[in-house]
Structure 1
Amino acid sequence: MALLSSSEIQSQASQLSDWTVEGKELKRTFKFKDFVQAINFVNQLVEPAEAAGHHPDLSISYNKVTVILTSHDAGGLTESDFEMAKTISAL
């Protein structure tokens, strides 16, 4: 998958709410009622990530889950990252 240009990244990012572009990463923190709900959310990520062959980096801190997307093999942001962000946002 090809890296997106700066203008393509800005265009794609403008279509996502609550996601930010930080360098070569797309990032969002989700907040839940408690740890159990946070883990349930993480478990919901497994199937779509496996199906897409695109796995997010995750950080869990009690009721917060930070999701970071980047295409490691491409060295930055690609269309796959933004598609996965849309999928995750819809959960």
Structure 2
Amino acid sequence: MAEVLQETQVKEMASEVPDWKVEGKELKQVMKFKDFVTAMDFVNKLIEPAEAAGHHPDIAISYNTVTISLTSHDAGGLTEKDFAMAKQISSLK
């Protein structure tokens, strides 16, 4: 199991994913797309990297808006895995 990062580590790693916000024990990003189909196409791109990493984001979809939340549930907070997945997701845009 991955170790929960200390607050200073979280701040440092958050600077590497500027499109993401730390909210409590989650790393979160809200993305808007031109329409529902484009939003769903993006969500479908998340399947392969999430499966490969064994680390699955929480996803909320509202028409053209996709909210992605990352946390390491088993560790009880943010770990390096969350930041690695955030970088991968950001590269898919």
TM-score, scaled to structure 2: 0.97
> 1:77: which partner in 2?
78
> 2:15: which partner in 1?
14
> 1:90: which partner in 2?
91
How far the C-alpha of 1:9 sits from its partner, in A, is 0.1
For the residue of structure 1 that corresponds to 2:59, the secondary structure is strand
TM-score, scaled to structure 1: 0.99
State yes or no: 1:57 paired with 2:66: no
Q: What amino acid is the match of 2:21? A: T
| Structure 1 gap segments, 5+ residues each | none
How far the C-alpha of 1:31 sits from its partner, in A, is 0.7
Supply the distance in 1 between the matched residues of 2:61 and 2:18 (Cα, whole angstroms): 21
Once the two structures are superposed, residues 22-76 of structure 1 have per-residue CA deviations (whole angstroms, 9 ceiling, x without a partner) of 0000000111000000000000000000000000000000001000000000000
Identity of aligned residues (%): 65
Q: Runs of 4+ in structure 1 displaced over 4 angstroms?
A: none
Supply the distance in 2 between the matched residues of 1:17 and 1:26 (Cα, whole angstroms): 11
